[in-house]
């Protein structure tokens, strides 16, 4: 008991020394305080505290992530209720942006580039094979050379007609561009978002993103069905 009292006196003396020295005592966090409130005590405003609590301050590396970060910050300024309710809402919105915007956008851009490269490769090799077949025939080379090179040209053209890489590349690129344009329109309050409050604008944005992805999924299903039909033997 005596030792405990001594420690208490020492603690009071230390606090008195701090006050006399002009050093403010650090406020102890209350048991019922949320992490957002604690972050606000450190000097962060409410928007920064909400974003930091959800870990939204990732390093930027692409236009899609830049747009997602700007949308997150815009939504963090909306009054969703208490800090707990705001964190729940922002968590759902962040998941939507990651899974229904950033990842599809990357996939559309990757597919657009891939099909574009494939189309260029097929056309380039097909042209080379055609020129080679003509030259081999003109120079009097063995008949096997023009035949083989002609078969290569036919095979490459068949693959191009089967996969339609140019058409797929264009459509994937348009889908990616549409997603980016929709996000910029939301952030700038243009077109269908003009004059809308943030909650209403967010609902419209979700519907538009879903519409782009549903249309692209339906077209991919049609492509898969067409390829499957091409395997079937005519009856």
In this prediction, residue 95 has a pLDDT band, given cuts at 50, 70 and 90, of confident
CA angle 120, 123, 127 (to 5 degrees): 135
Residue 19 has pLDDT above 80, yes or no: no
Question: What does the pLDDT read at residue 228?
Answer: 64
> Count of residues for the chain?
235
Does the predicted model carry a pTM greater than 0.75?
A: no
Residue 46 has pLDDT above 70, yes or no: no
In a domain, 75, yes or no: yes
In a domain, 103, yes or no: yes
Range of the domain at 101: 63-231
Question: What does the pLDDT read at residue 113?
Answer: 92
In a domain, 41, yes or no: no
Mean pLDDT of the chain: 76
DSSP letters for 144-211: HHHHHHHHHHHHHHHHHHHH-HHHHHHHHHHHHHHHHHHHHHHHHT-GGGTT--HHHHHHHHHHHHHH
- Choose among 173, 183, 171: nearest CA to 101: 183
Average confidence (pLDDT) over 219-224: 77
In a domain, 81, yes or no: yes
Domain count, the chain: 1
Most confident of 21-25, 169-173, 224-228: 169-173
In a domain, 43, yes or no: no
In a domain, 220, yes or no: yes
How far, in Å, CA of 178 to CA of 231, rounded? 33
Residue 27 has pLDDT above 90, yes or no: no
In this prediction, residue 203 has a pLDDT band, given cuts at 50, 70 and 90, of very high
In a domain, 143, yes or no: yes
- Choose among 125, 71, 120: nearest CA to 94: 71
Which residues neighbour 208 within 8 Å (Cβ) at sequence distance 6 or greater?
182, 192
8-state DSSP, 140: T
Question: What does the pLDDT read at residue 58?
Answer: 47
Which residues neighbour 57 within 8 Å (Cβ) at sequence distance 6 or greater?
51
Per residue in 97-152, pLDDT tens?
Answer: 888 898 899 899 999 999 999 999 999 999 988 888 888 888 877 888 888 888 98
In a domain, 222, yes or no: yes
């Amino acid at each position: 008991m005596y030792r405990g009292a001594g420690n208490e006196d020492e603690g009071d003396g230390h606090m008195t020394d701090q006050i006399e020295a002009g050093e403010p005592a650090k406020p102890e966090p209350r048991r019922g305080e949320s992490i957002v409130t604690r972050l606000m005590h450190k000097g962060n405003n409410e928007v920064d505290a909400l974003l930091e609590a959800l870990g939204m301050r990732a390093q930027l590396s692409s236009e899609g992530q830049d747009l997602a970060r700007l949308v997150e910050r815009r939504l963090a300024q909306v009054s969703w209720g208490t800090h707990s309710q705001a964190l729940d809402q922002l968590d759902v919105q962040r998941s939507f942006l990651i899974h229904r915007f950033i990842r599809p956008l990357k996939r559309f851009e990757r597919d657009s580039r891939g099909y574009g490269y494939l189309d260029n490769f097929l056309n380039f090799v097909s042209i080379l094979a055609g020129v080679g077949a003509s030259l081999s025939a003109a120079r009097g080379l063995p008949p096997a050379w023009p035949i083989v090179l002609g078969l290569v040209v036919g095979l490459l053209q068949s693959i191009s007609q089967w996969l339609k890489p140019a058409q797929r590349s264009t459509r994937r690129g348009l889908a990616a561009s549409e997603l980016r344009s929709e996000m910029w329109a939301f952030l700038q309050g243009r077109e269908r978002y003009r004059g809308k409050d943030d909650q209403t604008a967010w609902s419209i944005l979700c519907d538009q993103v879903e519409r782009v992805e549903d249309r692209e999924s339906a077209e991919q299903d049609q492509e898969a069905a067409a390829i499957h039909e091409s395997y079937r033997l005519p009856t």
